[in-house]
Amino acid sequence: MRRFLALGLALATAALAAACAVRWRDGRLLAALARVAQDTPVPLPAQRADEFRARAVAGARAMTWLPYDPFMGTHGDPLGPWGFVVCIDVPLRAYRAAGVPLASLLKESAAAHPGWFKLGPDNAPGNRFFYRRVRNYNDLFRNHPALEASPTPHPGDLAFFGRWHIALVTEAAPDGTWRAVEATPRVWGVKESGSGYLVSQWGEPEFFGRVRAAGQVLSSPHESAPPPPGRRGRRPRGLRASGRRPQGRLARDA
């Protein structure tokens, strides 16, 4: 019994040390980004759009290997101060470091346009979890005129896997494959993966959310509106119905 207790204590100590080291690294990298980032109005000034997307990608990659919060922020969020995250924290922190505070935009929108959101006793703007729920950002990107819900990915976009999971796109190839950073309980941390792996785990994204550049309507005249909520992004148990993963340069896991 003592041997098992000693082993458990050693593993817990190692995990805590790793979390502290990752938290220190993540904090330094994100702080470095935030020091030169200024709050940017949305839609983005055209001359700052590419810079914003590049900084968002860098911010997401800075969080790679942060540990996933098994309590998902509940019980007073005891692990949050130690760097443990949930899926929504990746885009929120990356966008904030790049100059766009999504949580503030959500707060303003919920106050001015409550009809955009599916509000209820357990999902009200006064609830602190309101600002860490993917479903509310799903509604925000579908409704806010400065944001776009697109069927195709660009670097810096947010991949919405329905209303329950989200990732930040880091690369997109001409063949339709892409890569993204996500915080997931399936690896208990933050990881960058190819679209083939992500689709096999979460299903096809419902849409890709992005901040519009000034004067932008749609990224391409050939792009159409995303499907209604609920048609994509379901959690599959295995692969897609076709039984095959997307093929292409960025589809593979890494």
Instruction: Report domain extents, the chain.
Output: 2-211
Instruction: Please give the average per-residue pLDDT across 167-173, as a whole number.
Output: 98
End-to-end Cα spacing for the chain:
39
| Cβ atoms 155, 149 nearer than 8 A | no
Tell me the C-alpha distance between 39 and 159, whole Å.
23
| Cβ atoms 130, 110 nearer than 8 A | yes
Q: Which has more pLDDT, 23 or 167?
A: 167
Q: Residue 203 — pLDDT band, cuts 50, 70, 90? A: very high
The residues, any chain, with a CB within 8 Å of residue 244's CB and separated by 6 or more, are none
CB 14: neighbour CB atoms within 10 A?
A: 10
CB 27: neighbour CB atoms within 10 A?
A: 12
Q: What is the DSSP letter of 129?
A: G
Residue ranges of alpha helices (H) inside the chain are 2-36, 49-62, 89-98, 102-112, 134-143, 195-202
Radius of gyration of the chain (CA): 19
Angle (CA) 105-140-150 rounded to 5° is: 120
Q: Cα separations (Å) of 153 from 21, 120, 208?
A: 33, 32, 6
Q: Which has more pLDDT, 128 or 18?
A: 128
pLDDT tens for residues 117-157? 999 999 999 988 899 999 999 999 999 999 999 999 999 99
Prediction pTM value: 0.74
| Fold adopted by 2-211 | endopeptidase fold (from Nostoc punctiforme) (3.90.1720)
Bridge partner residues of 167 (DSSP): 159
Angle (CA) 146-133-178 rounded to 5° is: 65
Instruction: Please give the average per-residue pLDDT across 206-228, as a whole number.
Output: 65
Helix (H, G, I), strand (E, B) or coil at 25: helix
Q: Which bin fits 224, alpha (ψ -120 to 50), beta or left (φ > 0)?
A: beta
Position 237 scores a pLDDT of 36
Tell me the C-alpha distance between 23 and 67, whole Å.
9
For every residue of 185-229, DSSP letters joined together read TTTTEEEEEEHHHHHHHH-S-SEEEEEPBTT-S-S-TT--PPPPT
pLDDT tens for residues 85-98? 899 999 999 999 99
pLDDT tens for residues 63-82? 998 998 776 666 666 556 66
Position 227 scores a pLDDT of 53
Q: Is 26 exposed, middle or buried (0-12, 13-18, 19+ CB in 10 A)?
A: buried
Average pLDDT, the chain: 77
